[in-house]
Structures are given as C-alpha cells and as structure tokens.
C-alpha cells in the first residue's frame, strides 16, 4: 500500500524537475510513511511513497523490468500474487523481489492489460513504457484505491494517488470544479472521471487509460459490476468468504480488523480470527452520544471471539477538532462527519503497530443491507396494497426518532418522491434529502449549475442492460457506483485510513463474492424486510445470536452539535462568516445565517439541516485548504530517498 505520482511529457527532452518530484512525494508521504523512491529519465519521472507490507527490505519502488525497460509504480495489493508468481515461474520467469508489484509488472509486460482479469486485489498503478512513451494508468474493479490525473494543454500528463500530488508538481494550479461539488451534494461524492478540481480527472473504478506521447489513446473499463445472468453456479458462500478473508490476511506484517458491532464486520472478524494463528486485534469507534454508540455490540463480539479489542471514543470536541484535517485528506466537501471517527481510529491502529485492517464494506451493496433496498420493496408494494405498504414504513430507518418515522410527511417523502419510471427512482429520496444543501447555493451558482446536471450525466451513462435488471439489482448497481466508490471507499475509506498510513482490506469486495451475490436468488439477499439473509445464515454458527439478528444500523456520527456551543472551535463561526462565504463565492449569506441561527439554538436536528451544515462548512474548509495558497504550501521531501533510479541520457553517457 502506497502513494504514487508522476509526470510524463510527450517528448523525451530534459527530465522533470527533481524538486517537483520531491514535492509530489511529500504531498502523499502519509500514504507511504516508510520511505519513498523515484525514477528520473528524459521527459518522465515517477514517484512512490511506500507503506511496506510485502518484502519489507526489498520492495522499494519504482521497479523496472531491467535497465531501460518498463517501470511500475504501484499502490495496493494483488492478493493472489503467490499463485500468479508460481504460474510465471513455471513459464521460466524469475524475480528479484518477493513483492506483488514485480509480479504485476511482469504480467503486464507479457500480456498487457489483458492480464488485469487475473488480478484479485485492490490497486492503482502506473506502468511506463519508455520506448513508445506510453503510460498506462489502472484502477481496481471497485475503485478501492484512488488515482487522479491531469492532461495539460501541452500534452504532459501528471498523475497522483491524490490530487494534492498533482498540485504539488507545479504543473497545474488548483481550481474548483463546481460540477464536481454539485455531484457531492447530489450523490455524496464526485463521480469518476469527474473530480471537484478543474482539469483533474479520476480513472474510473475498474478502468484504465493509456496515454501515449501526449495523447490519451485508449480509455475504457476492464471490469464493471453487471447483473446480467451468466448461468454459472452460485457456489458456496462460506467457502468463498473464507478464501477471500484468507487472501486478505496475506502480509509480511500483522493484520487487524475494524469492528463496528454490526453483522458484516463481525463476520469478517470471526472468519479472520479462525484463519489466523494469533489473537486478532480489533478496533472500534465508540461515541459519547448514546444515539450513535454501538460499543456494547462491539464488546460482545470481541468477547465471544476472543480478540484483543481496542476502542477509540469520539466526543464532540474530537470530531470538531479533526474535521479540517479530514477535509484536507478527503480533498472534497463532505455531507457527513462520519469519516472523522474513522480518521481518529486509524491513529489508534497505527499506534498499535498495525498497518493493515480487514473491514466489512461492500456487504450492504452486494447483499442488499441498506434500508434503501427495503424502500424499493415498500414502494412496489404500495402500487398493489397501499395500506400494507404504509404499515411497513415505520420499520424503515429505525435509527431515526420514532416520532419522525410516522405521519404524513414521512409517508409522502417515502412514497411520493421521484417518478417511478425514472431509472434512478430507487435513489431519489436520498437525492431529494441531500439536495437540501443546494438550497444554500448563491443564485448565480445555482443558475450556472442548472438542475439535475449530475443526475442527467448518471442517467446518460447507465449500462445498456440496466433496464433488464430487477428494481433491486438496479438499486444495487446505483449504490455501488454512486455511493460505494465516490464516498464510502474514498472520503470515508481510503483517505481517512491512509491519512495515517493504514491500509483497509475489503473481503466482501472480492469480485468473486460480487459474482456469487449476483447469482443468489433475490430472497437470499432481501427476504421480505429481512436484509442480508445469506450472510445471516453464514453468521449463525460464527457469531452470538444477538449480533446475527441485529437490524442494520448505519454507521453515523454527530453532525451539528460538535460545532456549536461550549467548547466549539473558533474557526467554525469564522469559516461561516459573511467575509469567508464571500471569498468562497458558493453559498448565500442570508440563508446560511438562517441555518446558523438554528444551529446555535440547538434546533437543527433534522438530517437535512445536518447535511447542509456539514456540506457548507466542509466546502469552506476545502476551499481554504486548496485554493488560498500556491506552490509554497507543498514543501519538498527532505528525507533521503530509499530508491533513486536515474535513467537519464546524461547519466548513461557519463
């Protein structure tokens, strides 16, 4: 697990400025605290910051395929690299390191991008072939690892795991892209290839692009979640999950696990504890506010499974104080504070000398765990039996106050939002609720963005067979593509773990588990109003009964309270002052003043106002972090590089 970055120019010419590469390394050093390396050649420089997980002494990057050959910088893990290595060795290949990186490079050399289908893992990589001046950027199937790039007018391509590495290059000034911001306030995250930065794109999940001598010559997806029936056998979920967990425990360092106290992470912990011969270390977030706290469930699982359990308690001041750092790492406005406790948790993980954690993300999308899927069922029932549907409405979103889950406003919101014929209909209640943030746009910003630009782009890009899938399969595809990658795996996943050099691993996001879930009959996922039936059956022999039968409790954190009242940091009001709002130019001063009155009075308790406050405040912090200062805010790396691969013409002559 690492950070990667680089600059490639259309023609050989002089090498990129070494200081620029050192600035890029420093900008993403948190992703690779163990050291960094870079390569330098005519018109190209590649950077890697390393979090050592395999071949601790020998795995420094960039790795080249012989002098003058192709080079790889790589972030992530290919879990089946032992098997792939054996296969390559049987064909006469030999290796200098025991890393997965070298295996991936050799596979790319031999088979090109066709080799990607053989990789089981989470990775982002850049493969540089100097002869044709070709750079291939690749991202894993679900987009666990990030990869950003900017194609400049002169044909130069600059890339980085995080956008800050691109800005640190000095090749491109940071500027906001309001369309990406509008994506956040529609779907919770900017949807690739778009980002919240003008001129910066992301390689889409399961995608790759090929840049050659100044132009992008190929850009496509190599894997995409499909619900098309393939007629294959569904297989054995237990066997598959055990194998997925076993692969994800592979490392030359100890692996821990996150434990939320819900079914998914508890199941991963149970399987991981059985697979390992040492006591697993588990890590949980607890909250001072009992409305969010799940510690009793976490402790029950830890006790039952005998793990070495660690808890970080997030109080209001911890959440507020860490929020600016989280926004800087997330590199985007947020609508929830939920990433903050996970940012605090990764500090605790690191303090316990753990750098790899297995976690439960992906189960709700694959096995239909969210209430959003139940909403789909209830709305369809409403067409046939309105009374029966209304009775079920109170069962949805059980974490909200009971008084808010009944009455005419609740009924109308859940039953009447959106158009049933809209392909996005399953997601329109979320879109509608999130749009509360957009009500605070300045009129000129709202006019510039227009209505539904994010949704129309999504509608236009739906897969050809989308209409052939069931309503729940369509909802699942949308959830994987609009929430999982742009938000859960990014702002709430990679960024807050890698902020402290911690790698999350996701056994449910093994593509074989996805393919299994697709083949399962619908009722093994959502049986009436019971979610994740197949996972519950699997967990029955592994976990306490109370955990197996627990309803889904979405992970959330306090939103408004940490930022107001006694102990709230001064920068909150300062960031939301008329002057600060004018400088950012996105938010309407008078409307924000109305929201602030409600927040200060403790009345902003609804989810819309919570999202509005966090959306506005995080946008202000994001603006300050990225657009107020220039290159001076990106100092160069001062540590000695662990690898400096000088391949310049000048050196060869010397």
Partner 1 sequence: MTEAATDIRTDMRSFLEENFLYMHPGVELKDGDDFLALGIIDSLGFVELVEEVQSRFELTIDDIEITEENFGSIDAIAQFVAAKQAS
Residues that bind partner 1 (CB under 8 A): 400-401, 403-405, 407-410, 412-413, 432-433, 436, 439-440, 443, 588, 590-591, 594-595, 597-598, 603, 605-609, 612
Bridge-based pairing of strands 308-314 and 134-139 is: unpaired
Least CB distance to partner 1 at residue 65 (A): 58
Residue 358's H or E segment, with its range, is strand 356-358
Contact 337, 557 (CB under 8 A): yes
3-state secondary structure of 83: helix
CB of 610 to partner 1, least distance (A): 10
As measured in angstroms, the least distance from the Cβ of 602 to partner 1 is 12
| Distance (Å, whole) CA 237 – CA 384 | 34
Angle at 647 between CA 645 and CA 652, to 5 degrees: 130
Q: Specify the residue, 175 or 593, whose C-beta has the smaller distance to partner 1.
A: 593
Q: Which helix (H) or strand (E) holds 356?
A: strand 356-358
Compute the distance between CA of residue 490 and CA of residue 325 in angstroms, rounded to an integer: 15
Q: Shortest Cβ distance from residue 187 to partner 1 (Å)?
A: 19
Nearest distance in Å: CB 512, partner 1? 41
565: left (phi over 0), alpha (psi -120 to 50) or beta: left
Shortest Å, Cβ 296 to partner 1: 26
Helix ranges (DSSP H) in 175-308: 178-187, 237-248, 263-275, 295-305
Between residues 410 and 555, which has the closer beta carbon with respect to partner 1?
410
Q: Cα separations (Å) of 447 from 428, 453, 586?
A: 22, 11, 12
d(CA 358, CA 268): 7
Mark out the alpha helices in 276-370 (DSSP H runs): 295-305, 316-330, 339-351, 363-366
By beta-carbon proximity to partner 1, the closer residue of 400 and 582 is 400
Q: Which is nearer to partner 1, 438 or 457 (CB)?
A: 438
Residue 311 or 435 having the CB closest to partner 1? 435
Give least dist CB 503 to partner 1, A.
Answer: 38
Q: How far apart are CA 306 and CA 299, in angstroms?
A: 10
Minimal distance in Å, beta carbon 435 to partner 1? 9
DSSP-based three-state secondary structure for 604: coil
Instruction: Supply the minimum distance, in Å, between the C-beta of residue 102 and partner 1.
Output: 55
Residue 625: count of CB within 10 angstroms of its CB? 19
How near is the Cβ of 537 to partner 1 at its closest, in Å? 34
Q: Provide the minimum distance between the beta carbon of 369 and partner 1 in the complex, in angstroms, as a whole number.
A: 22
Nearer to partner 1, 608 or 644 (CB): 608
Give whichever of 445 and 462 is closer to partner 1, judged by the CB atom. 445
If the CB atoms of residues 162 and 588 are measured against partner 1, the closer one turns out to be: 588
Round to whole Å and give the CA distance between 173 and 167: 6
CA distance 514 to 366: 6
71 close to 96: Cβ distance less than 8 angstroms:
no
Alpha-helix residue ranges (DSSP H) falling in 394-452: 408-416, 428-434, 443-449
Supply the DSSP symbol for 234: -
Q: Which is nearer to partner 1, 215 or 412 (CB)?
A: 412
Q: How far is the CB of 598 from partner 1 (least distance, A)?
A: 7
By C-beta, is 607 or 627 nearer to partner 1? Answer: 607
Specify whether the CB–CB gap between 113 and 208 falls below 8 A.
yes
Query: Of 474, 374, 371, 463, which Cα lies nearest the Cα of 421?
Result: 474
Q: How is residue 15 written in tokens?
A: 């090498």
Instruction: Please report, for residues 238, 263, 270, the alpha-carbon distance to residue 280 in angstroms, rounded to integers and kept in the order given.
Output: 20, 18, 10
Residue closer to partner 1 by CB (options 427, 474) is 427
- For the beta carbon of residue 107, count every other beta carbon within 10 angstroms: 22
Choose between 229 and 439: whose C-beta lies nearer to partner 1: 439
Q: Which of the 8 DSSP states describes residue 257?
A: E
Smallest gap from residue 412 Cβ to partner 1 (A)? 5
Residue among 328 and 608 whose Cβ is closer to partner 1: 608
Q: Which is nearer to partner 1, 232 or 407 (CB)?
A: 407
316 three-state secondary structure = helix
- Locate all alpha helices (DSSP H) within 417-543, ordered by sequence: 428-434, 443-449, 453-460, 471-479, 495-498, 511-519, 533-539
For 594, the token pair is 């109305």
CB of 583 to partner 1, least distance (A): 21
What residues contact 413, with CB distance under 8 A and at least 6 apart? 429, 432
């Amino acid at each position: 697990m690492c950070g990667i970055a680089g600059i490639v120019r259309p023609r050989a010419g002089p090498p990129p400025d070494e200081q620029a590469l050192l600035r890029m390394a420093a900008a993403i050093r948190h992703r690779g605290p163990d050291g960094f390396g870079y390569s330098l050649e005519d018109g190209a420089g590649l950077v890697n910051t390393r979090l050592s997980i395999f071949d601790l002494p020998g795995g420094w990057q960039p790795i080249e395929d012989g002098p003058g050959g192709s080079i790889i910088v790589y972030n992530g893990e290919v879990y089946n690299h032992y098997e792939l290595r054996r296969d390559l060795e049987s064909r006469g290949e030999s290796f200098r390191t025991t890393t997965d990186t070298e295996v991936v490079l050799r596979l790319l050399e031999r088979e090109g991008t066709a080799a990607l289908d053989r990789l089981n893992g989470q990775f982002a990589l850049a493969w540089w072939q100097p002869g044709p001046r070709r750079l291939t950027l690749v991202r894993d199937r679900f987009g666990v690892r990030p990869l950003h790039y900017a194609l400049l007018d002169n044909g130069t391509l600059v890339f980085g795991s995080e956008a800050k590495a691109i800005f640190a290059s000095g090749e491109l000034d940071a500027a906001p892209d309001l369309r990406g911001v509008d994506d956040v306030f529609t779907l919770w995250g900017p949807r690739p290839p778009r980002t919240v930065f003008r001129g910066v794109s992301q390689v889409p999940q399961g995608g790759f692009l090929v840049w050659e001598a100044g132009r992008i010559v190929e850009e496509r997806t190599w894997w995409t979640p499909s619900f098309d029936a393939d007629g294959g056998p569904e297989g054995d979920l237990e066997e598959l999950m055990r194998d997925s967990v076993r692969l994800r425990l592979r490392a030359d360092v100890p692996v821990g696990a996150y434990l939320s106290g819900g079914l998914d992470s508890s199941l991963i912990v149970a399987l991981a504890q059985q697979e390992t011969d040492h006591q697993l270390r588990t890590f949980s977030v607890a909250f001072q506010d009992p409305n969010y706290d799940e510690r009793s469930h976490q402790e029950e699982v830890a006790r039952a499974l005998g793990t070495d359990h660690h808890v970080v308690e997030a109080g209001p001041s911890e959440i507020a104080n860490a929020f600016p750092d989280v926004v800087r790492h997330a590199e985007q406005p947020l609508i929830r504070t939920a990433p903050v406790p996970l940012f605090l948790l990764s500090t605790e993980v690191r303090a316990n000398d753990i750098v790899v954690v297995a976690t439960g993300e992906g189960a709700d999308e694959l096995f239909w765990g969210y209430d959003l899927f139940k909403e789909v069922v209830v709305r369809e029932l409403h067409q046939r039996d309105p009374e029966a549907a209304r009775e079920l409405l109170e069962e949805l979103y059980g974490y909200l106050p009971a008084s808010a889950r009944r009455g005419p406003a609740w009924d109308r919101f859940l039953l009447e939002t959106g158009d049933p014929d809209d392909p996005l209909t399953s997601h329109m209640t979320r879109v509608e609720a999130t749009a509360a943030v957009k009500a605070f746009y300045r009129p000129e910003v709202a006019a510039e963005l227009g209505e539904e630009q994010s949704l129309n782009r999504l509608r236009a890009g739906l897969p050809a067979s989308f209409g052939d899938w069931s309503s729940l399969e369509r909802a699942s595809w949308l959830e994987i593509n609009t929430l999982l990658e742009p938000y859960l795996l990014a702002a709430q996943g990679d960024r807050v773990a890698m902020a402290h050099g911690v790698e999350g691993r996701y056994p449910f996001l093994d593509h074989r588990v996805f393919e299994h879930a697709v083949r399962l009959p619908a009722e093994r996922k959502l049986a009436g109003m019971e979610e994740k039936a197949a996972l519950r059956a699997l967990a029955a022999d592994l976990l306490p009964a109370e955990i197996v039968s627990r309803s889904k409790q979405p992970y959330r954190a306090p939103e408004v309270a940490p930022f107001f009242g006694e102990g709230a940091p001064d920068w909150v009001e300062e960031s939301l002052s008329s002057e600060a709002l004018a400088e950012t130019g996105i938010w309407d001063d008078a409307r924000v003043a109305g929201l602030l009155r409600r927040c200060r009075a403790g009345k902003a308790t609804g989810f819309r106002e919570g999202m509005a406050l966090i959306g506005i405040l995080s946008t202000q912090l994001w603006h300050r972090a990225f657009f107020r200062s220039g290159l001076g805010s990106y100092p160069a790396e001062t540590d000695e590089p662990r690898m400096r691969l000088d391949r310049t013409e000048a050196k060869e002559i010397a």
